[in-house]
Structure 1
Amino acid sequence: MHSDTANIFFTVVIPTRNKPELFKLALDSVLSQSFKNIEVVVVNDGTADDLLPAYKALEESYGSNVDFRYQVRRPNGHGQSYSMNTGAYVGSGKYLCFLDDDDYWIDTEHLQRAYSSIVSSNSEVDAYYTNQAAFFLDNTKLHANVWIENLTEKTDGLEKDDFGAFKVTAEFLLTTRGFAHLNCSIIKRELYLTIKGMDENIRYECDRDIYLRTIDASETILYNPAVVSRHNIPDPKKSDNMSTLVSIFEKRLYQITVYEKAIMLSKKQCIRLHSKAGLSDIFKHITEEYIRLKQIKNAASYAKRATASNFTGKWWLFSKYLSLLAWFKA
């Protein structure tokens, strides 16, 4: 860790709660980076009393190399967004990096490559994105496009720098329906603060929200296809992470908020169009969930919203069918 806080290049923020053993793996993966001009800010979001001593022991063992911050305990925590903002505001690095406490970086050259690409760019870089691999509990790899990994197939013809990064646009990034995971996102701190950081009212897909707002505000974006992180898919039986803490309809409400914000507030048309299509998809998912629950009236209502958000003849006909079915069942 660099001792001169005035010249720190990367601030790495690790929000954590109730996972001291997994957190240690995440932290060690950061400290194992070959690039050392960094600071690490750990934001402990109200860990349970029985697990807190393990964190305190880790804090003592790492000493001044890591800045540990502790938040008041609340039943559901303050949330990832609040914790990330806490770390971003107290950090002093020119660029912000983030890492979940149950994941870890697998590439020790990740930050060195990012630094090299950023400082060699002929324009100041606003955001730098990479990829990660996802694994189930049994260590089986997920073979599906989840985030922006399929952009790798679309880089032919783009100019690559000496460190593997491509200069890309928001339009290019949105050719995939995914978004960059926070583990794989590096954002200029000044820009992060300008767009007011994470939305603390969103507890599911808050990373999609910050991604859309970041690329909307960015002029220079770099994408390096390198796989730098391992994402451990949460255990669906546990309610200790964003993916399992909220119900399916609560998740959909958060997703609707993310897309409606982007439609209303984005400056770039490509983001607004992308978000209209995404919002339509969410309404379709809600429609299907209500059909599964045999709540046809609700299903018909959301089918209409899906059609209004992003018209297709197929869904227009389907919404009419559901409306008739709801009328006959009334």
Structure 2
Amino acid sequence: MIINPEKLKPEVSVIIPTFNRADKIIGAVESVLEQSFLNFECIVIDDGSSDNTLEKLGELHDSRLKIISQKNKGVSSARNNAIAVSNAGVIALLDSDDEWLPSKLEKQLIFMEETGLHISQTDEIWIRNGKRVNQCKKHEKSEGLFFERSLVMCMVSPSCVMFTRKFWDSVGPFDENMVACEDYDLWLRGFEYPVGLLRERLTVKHGGREDQLSNNVSCLDLYRMYSIAKLVRSGKLDGKDRALALNELQRKSGYFAGGCRKRGKLDQADKIEQLVDSVIKGLDINPISFIE
């Protein structure tokens, strides 16, 4: 019997970055290993954990599971490095404190194949402090092209998303300057790709944990402003989309500067307003100044 080597190649690469989540990572990985779809590789990259994450992972035995490590460089670096060694033509992300329902990969892969889309996401179940909660209306997922809404906040959940290698090669990698909102930045850069929505709650998203980035990084809008400024500076936006981006940049900077002034941080308020003014005028500023 002749075995086609292509049949041995995984169809999906699942990427899970983790840092000091020994109490959660096993649940995330097991939810992948228990998928009804079987032809995948699961790459867990440990971002320099100081707890017993690697010891816990070592207790799992499955040929599809690959565990790699790096010095602590943040989630963007971890995802980039894991994707760099992945082998499949389709990539699915999962955060180390979230989980998938058993049919997630199977149903989403069929959805991607039937629609011909290069990026899609599923709906999700929200768990906060151990209790299921309803999503606010502003968090309802969109589909298709929704650039304007994406400027306001991140509209694609990493643990729900699946994308093709073509999408990644065109839009990636994650910006390693960003310790937060790196997902917002990537999806914003992929504004030309319509996003599919599989309207089934196939992802379980956990929140309310003290170690989550959103609870430990102040002024998330600084990172969003940095992202918008980069995109404007890239020259890829047409007149309408550029105007939308600049309007949202001004809106975010207004809230930020107002908050700074209330707290007596006048220099920081002035700095952001001057940067935004320079972006609007098309001056050649380095967007990294927003987050330095």
**Bin of the TM-score, shorter chain as denominator length:** 0.7 to 0.9
Aligned equivalent of 2:216, options 245, 259, 268: 245
Task: Provide the residue aligned with 2:86 in structure 1.
Answer: 91
Per-residue deviation, 1:287: 2.3
Q: Match of 2:182?
A: 206
Q: Give the corresponding residue for 2:131.
A: 139
Counterpart CA distance in 1 for 2:10 and 2:247 is 40
Paired AA for residue 207 in structure 2: I
Give, as a single letter, the amino acid of the residue that structure 2 aligns with 1:193: D
1:290 equivalent in alignment to 2:257: no
Where does residue 286 of structure 2 map in the other structure? none
Following TM superposition, by how much is the alpha carbon of 1:253 offset from its aligned partner in structure 2, in angstroms?
2.8
**Aligned residues of 2:16 and 2:45 also touching (Cα < 8 A):** yes
User: 1:61 and 1:230 mapped to 2: Cα distance?
Assistant: 21
- Where does the alignment leave 5 or more consecutive residues of structure 1 unmatched? 152-165, 311-330
Shift of 1:246: 2.7
**Structure 2 gaps, min length 5:** 281-292
Query: Is residue 182 of structure 1 aligned with residue 158 of structure 2?
Result: yes
Tell me if structure 1 keeps the 8 A contact 2:160–2:203.
yes
Name the residue aligned to 2:105. 111
Deviation at 1:97, TM superposition (A): 0.7
CA contact (8 A) 2:74 2:176 kept: yes
CA RMSD of aligned residues (A): 3.1
Instruction: Give yes or no for contact 2:150–2:188 (8 Å, CA) kept in 1.
Output: no
Consecutive aligned runs of 4 or more in structure 1 exceeding 6 Å deviation: 303-310
Superposed, which structure 2 residues align to 1:311-322 within 5 Å?
none
Kindly indicate whether the alpha-carbon contact (under 8 Å) linking 2:40 and 2:64 is maintained by their aligned counterparts in 1: no
Q: Which has the larger radius of gyration?
A: 1
Q: Which amino acid aligns with 1:24?
A: I
Q: What's the TM-score once normalised by structure 1's chain length? A: 0.72
Question: What residue is the counterpart of 1:277 in the other structure?
Answer: 247
Please give the residue correspondences for 1:37-56 in structure 2 after superposition, counting only pairs within 5 Å: 37-48=39-50, 51-52=51-52, 54-56=53-55
Q: Distance in 1 between matches of 2:96 and 2:256?
A: 31
Kindly indicate whether residue 207 of structure 2 is the aligned counterpart of residue 257 of structure 1. Answer: no
SS of the residue corresponding to residue 15 of structure 2 reads strand
Deviation at 1:302?
Answer: 5.4
Check conservation: 1:13, 1:41, Cα contact below 8 A: yes
Cα 1:30–1:275 shift into 2, 3 Å = farther
Cα distance in 2 for partners of 1:44, 1:175 equals: 31
Letter of the 1:233 partner, please give it: G
Alpha-carbon distance in structure 1 between the residues aligned to 2:127 and 2:205: 6
1:264–1:300 CA distance, 2 compared to 1 (3 A) = closer
Q: Do 2:125 and 2:132's aligned partners in 1 also have CA atoms closer than 8 Å? A: no
